[in-house]
Structure 1
Amino acid sequence: MPNRKLYAGAKLRELRTRLGLTQKDFAGKLGISLPYLNQMENNNRPVSTTVVLGLAQEFGLDVTELSSGDTERLVSDMREALADPVFAEDSPPLADLRLAASNAPALARAFLDLHRAYRQTHERLASLDEALGHEGRATPSPWEEVRDFFHYCDNYIDAVDRAAERFAGQAQGDLAQHTERVLEGMGVQIRHAAGEGVRHYDRASRTLTLSPRAAPETQRFQLLHQYALLAQSQLLEATLDLARFQTDTAREIARIGMANYFAGAVLMPYTRFAEAADETRHDLERMSIQFGASIEQIAHRLSTLQRPGAKGVPFFFARVDQAGTVTKRHSATRLQFARFGGACPLWNVHQAFETPGRFLRQLAETPDGIRYVILARDVSKSGGAWGTPTRRFAISLGCELRHAPKLVYADGLDLDRDEAFQPIGISCRICERAHCHQRSVPPLERQLTVDPDHRGTLPYQIGG
């Protein structure tokens, strides 16, 4: 795949504004003309190598921050939305979508919000939902709103992450015992007793109850979660204020997400965790033992190592249930997940349910020609007692092929043989592969031919 030119006008304007510099001063420090800077900020010209070097040398910028991660996410989301039949057959070319995502990201997000509102209204009408009688404009569900918030901030919240790292550094002895002492010093009573749920906090008596049936790492995580809600409330509220959620429900969901983020960042402090990832070559089991965390927690944390100036390997992370529904998702790579519908059935994460306790490896290639090393594993969770239901999930963790030498799971794989790479997609609705044997629905951007006298793998042929 040829390298695309780097258009990063929005990033340049954001950096200049953050530094409090005028265009003239900024251009002078970079050693370029004012018109040249103006053209780059408006995406009329790509960012040159000279400017990239100047940003690194003059301002200490991690040049990977100029990458078009947000742009690619928006482009992927818009392509999927525009595949909706409501837009008929004339979909804007990919180049136009990239221009819109680069030059007018706020407009692109507004378009996605509008399409989501349309889909919700359409689905209510189709199912005769009770919401037919509700008044007011359609809004994204609180869950979707929070999911998109974390999605577009690269699943990394710097202020919360650094506060968690400081707390971990202050811990004396066992982390759980240290946290209990801190909470008790705040007047919180801690007890371990079986009951409904894993954690319960009684505000009136200031009593925190943890279930002894939960795994030790789960109890430790829930202890830190409660500490975050009580002792880090100002930090969490300030971060939530910046997010500007549309509903109180979304804000409450995000508060839980922030507390979870803090707890995970305490258990796996950024700097020490990143160093361990390099030393073990991202061996999830070794890191699980080292940090006293579950395999899922380790995998999720690896996908958040996006601190400016100290970024780790960019991973995508997802958790799916047995129906193929993606219940958690994040991508620091060019691979993006479908916003609607299930995950690609050719993805090895679906097979993980068949081999509990084992890691599955996969070499895969997406329709854009990008190749990945993908790891999948069942992470089903027992209810902790006889007769209680088991929550069945599987996780997937992957990175682009160029990072394979840093991944212990890539050892022994035939990375140079084209046939070793499984063709996977994002969503059947926008996947361009014409001969996929697992296709569930035809691509909405392509013409179909139906021949009653011929039947191949599919009951139709996909045109160009």
Structure 2
Amino acid sequence: MPVQKLYAGAKLRDLRTRLGLTQKDFASKLGVSLPYLNQMENNNRPVSTTVVLALAQEFGFDVTELGQGDSERLVTDMREALADPVFGEAQPSLADLRLTASNAPSLARAFLELHRAYRQTHERLASLDEALGREGSQLQPSPWEEVRDFFHYCDNYIDAVDRAAEQVGGQLDSAGDVRAAAIARLSRDGITVRLSQAAPLRVYDPERRDLVLSSLAPPATQTFQLLVQLALLQQAQLLEATLDLARFQSDEARAIAKLGLANYFAGAAIMPYRAFLAAAQETRHDLEILAARFGASIEQVAHRLSTLQRPGAKGIPFFFVRVDQAGTITKRHSATRLQFARFGGACPLWNVHRAFETPGQFLRQLAETPDGVRYISLARDVSKTGGHFGAPVRRYAFALGCEVRHAGALVYADGLDLGRDGAFEPIGISCRICERIGCHQRSVPPLEKRLMVEADRREVLPYRLE
């Protein structure tokens, strides 16, 4: 397999700007000529091995940050946006999209923001949304989408929050019982913690300084909610500073993001970064052993594995997605080249959908995306009961996976036939941008293919693709 050349002009420019160096000074420190640096920053030349070593030695730069994760994510998002029928057949080539994502990522994000504004306008008109009737209303992403994209483009890793949580988690764990230590920590601030069958998962009364948790929730959920409240009360300054840097466009988005950061803190405190990374590597990422060792749920462990992207101490790049029974994606993140549809559901050929049929069991799948990249995917259902007879049961399924080159580090890869081409199932991202011609589960035609409809011929689909 040929070695893939590394083009990272935008990241080189960003690093130079952060360091406050001119191109001439930066080139001198990297040991290259000024024209050569200029060509690399404009992606006319790949980043050489000499430059990679100089970045690490001269600036202590984590060279894994030069990877194409952000670019691939932007390319996927742009392809999906361009699949909107409003663009007709005027489709840029994949090479042009990659060039834009690499050389002008800010322009790519601006395009995505513009398309999102268009979609929301279209949807509001279609549903006669009252917001369009208000004077002075401005088009902006929904708060939920804005927060989702914030975590998406942070690689689902928030360094300052993660390190603070690691410190607190280590202190709680040293006491021997994270749950009891968290209660004691809150009690020192005059906060009473109690359980009640009638309470929701968590409710806090700031005037009475009274925290009530549901006694019907599983122990892992109770501990998690304890730490969420601890983060909101005792890490408020850190959370607010992080929110200030994010510059959300609405108070609603900021409020949603604050709760998201508190949840992030809770998971990172229960599973402190370095200890959890070491345990994950030792157990070959066995979710059940990790859940028992850290007192967490299977879903919490899977989600935490997808956040291990600390510069200089990265874990395996995982993707993590959670879907409901309708196939709608409710959580998503990918540190891999596999990206999820921003709108709609996941590919129906993916094993995450079959997890509902086998509750309590792990499903393994070897899969290949249209770009030829192969993955191992692990899926399992997650049922969340109301805790008493007659209470509604919320059912989800999650998938956790990585590129198959990391399979040796996963216990779930044992016994799978990784060397046989036929063992890998063809999956995609979204039918509108999936290039597979012969897919029997296709819901809509791909936008980039021409249809052939023949009245006297019928196959699985009512049309054929060129």
Interval of TM-score (by shorter of Structure 1 and Structure 2): over 0.9
Matched residue of 1:146: which SS?
helix
Cα deviation 1:367-418 (Å, max 9, x = unaligned):
0000000000011111111110001000000000100000000000000000
**Which of 368, 371, 379 is residue 368 of structure 1 equivalent to?**
371
Question: Which residue of the other structure, out of 170, 185, 188, is the alignment partner of 1:185?
Answer: 188
Which whole-Å CA distance do the structure 2 matches of 1:108 and 1:416 have between them? 38
Q: Distance in 1 between matches of 2:290 and 2:391?
A: 30
For the residue of structure 1 that corresponds to 2:372, the secondary structure is coil
Alignment correspondent of 1:143:
144
After superposing the two structures, state which structure 1 stretch, 310-319 or 46-55, moved more: 46-55
CA distance in 2, matches of 1:444, 1:134: 36
Aligned-partner Cα distance in 2 for 1:3–1:231: 48
Tell me the residue number matched to 1:22: 22
> Is the Cα–Cα contact under 8 Å of residues 147 and 253 in structure 2 kept in the other structure?
yes
Comparing 131-140 and 398-407, the one that deviates more:
131-140
The match for 1:430 is 433
- The 1-side partners of 2:4 and 2:114 are apart by 30
Of 136-145 and 233-242, more deviation after overlay is shown by 136-145
Report the equivalent of 1:335. 338
Distance 1:398 1:3 in 2: 24
Counterpart residue identity of residue 419, structure 1? G
Q: Distance in 2 between matches of 1:247 and 1:150?
A: 16
Structural mapping, 1:400-411, within 5 Å: 400-411=403-414
For 2:129 and 2:464, how far apart are their aligned partners in 1? 36
Post-superposition CA distance 1:274-323 (Å, at most 9, x none): 00010000000000000000000000000000000000000000000000
| Deviation of the 1:25 alpha carbon | 2.4
Q: What pairs with 1:65-104 in structure 2 (closer than 5 Å)?
A: 65-104=65-104
Shift of 1:189: 1.3
Return the alpha-carbon distance in structure 2 between the equivalents of residues 445 and 112 of structure 1: 19
**Which amino acid letter does the alignment assign opposite residue 334 of structure 1?**
R
Structure-to-structure mapping, 1:126-137, within 5 angstroms: 126-135=126-135, 136-137=137-138
Q: Deviations over 1:103-159 (max 9, x none)?
A: 211111111111111111112222333344244232111001000000000000000
Shift of 1:56: 2.2
1:298 counterpart = 2:323? no
5+ residue gaps, structure 2 = none
Tell me if the contact between 2:199 and 2:212 (Cα under 8 Å) persists in the aligned partners: no
Q: Structure 2: which amino acid aligns with 1:42?
A: N
Question: Could you tell me how far 1:2 is from its partner in structure 2?
Answer: 4.9
Q: Within the alignment, does 1:392 sit opposite 2:390 as a pair?
A: no
The amino acid that maps onto 2:138 is R
Aligned to 1:156: 157
Instruction: Give, in whole Å, the separation in 2 of the partners of 1:279 and 1:166.
Output: 22
Higher mean alpha-carbon deviation, 34-43 vs 127-136, is at: 127-136
Give a deviation string over 1:189-218, Cα, whole Å, max 9, x none.
111112241000001111111111100010
TM-score computed with the length of structure 1 as normaliser: 0.98
Moved more, 34-43 or 283-292: 34-43
The one-letter code of the counterpart of 1:324 is: G
Indicate the larger mover: 327-336 or 50-59: 50-59
**Mean Cα displacement is larger for which, 16-25 or 363-372?**
16-25
State which drifts further: 93-102 or 254-263.
Answer: 93-102
95-104 or 67-76: which moved more?
A: 95-104
- Per-residue Cα deviation, 1:54-110 (whole angstroms, up to 9, x for no partner): 222323322211001111111000001111111110211111111111121111111
**Partner Cα separation in structure 2 for residue 406 and residue 62 of structure 1:** 22
How many residues align structurally?
Answer: 463
Aligned residue identity for 2:170: G
Letter in 1 for 2:422: E
Q: Do the aligned residues in 1 keep the contact of 2:8 with 2:46 (CA within 8 Å)?
A: yes
What is the alpha-carbon distance in structure 2 between the residues aligned to residue 418 and residue 130 of structure 1? 53
> Aligned partners of 1:119 and 1:55: how far apart in 2?
42
In the alignment, does 2:363 pair up with 1:347? no
Q: Hey, what does 1:169 align to over in structure 2?
A: 170
- Partners in 1 of 2:108 and 2:199 — Cα distance? 44
Residue 3 of structure 1 deviates from its aligned partner by: 4.5
- d(CA) in 1 for partners of 2:374 and 2:134? 46
1:264 matches 2:267: yes
Counterparts of 2:199 and 2:146 in 1: how far apart (Å)? 29
Q: Which amino acid aligns with 1:189?
A: T
Alignment partner of 1:392: what SS?
strand
Q: Matched residues in 2 for 1:118 and 1:165: separation?
A: 41
CA distance in 2, matches of 1:211, 1:351: 31
Comparing 342-351 with 174-183, greater Cα deviation is found at 174-183
Which whole-Å CA distance do the structure 1 matches of 2:126 and 2:449 have between them?
25
Aligned to 2:316: 313
Indicate whether 1:421 and 2:424 are aligned: yes
d(CA) in 2 for partners of 1:6 and 1:86?
34
Corresponding residue of 2:40? 40
Partners in 2 of 1:116 and 1:89 — Cα distance?
A: 19
Structure 2 counterpart of 1:239, which letter? Answer: T
Deviates more, 1:440-449 or 1:253-262: 440-449
How far apart, in 2, do the equivalents of 1:345 and 1:380 lie?
A: 20
Counterpart residue identity of residue 231, structure 1: Q
User: CA deviation digits over 1:30-56, x for unaligned, max 9?
Assistant: 111122112212222211121112222
- Map 1:209-220 onto structure 2 (within 5 A): 209-220=212-223
The answer to whether structure 1 residue 245 and structure 2 residue 248 are counterparts is yes
Question: How far off its partner does 1:19 sit?
Answer: 3.1
Question: How big is the shift at 1:359?
Answer: 0.2
Paired amino acid for 1:323: A
Cα deviation, residue 181, structure 1: 1.3
Q: Equivalents in 1 of 2:213, 2:406: separation in Å?
A: 40
Distance, in Å, in 2 between the alignment partners of 1:104 and 1:249 is 30
TM-score normalised per structure 2 = 0.97
* Range moving further from structure 2, 419-428 or 115-124: 115-124
Comparing 68-77 with 41-50, which one deviates more in the overlay?
41-50
Say if 2:442 is the partner of 1:439: yes
* Identical counterparts, % of pairs: 75
Q: 1:247 to 1:3 in 2, by over 3 A?
A: farther
Match in the other structure for 2:362:
359
| Aligned-pair Cα RMSD in Å | 1.2
Residues 243-290 of structure 1 deviation map (CA, whole Å, 9 limit, x = unaligned): 111110000000000000000000000000000010000000000000
Q: How does 1:93-132 map to 2 (within 5 A)?
A: 93-132=93-132
Aligned counterpart, 2:462: 459
How many angstroms apart in 2 are the aligned matches of 1:94 and 1:182?
Answer: 53
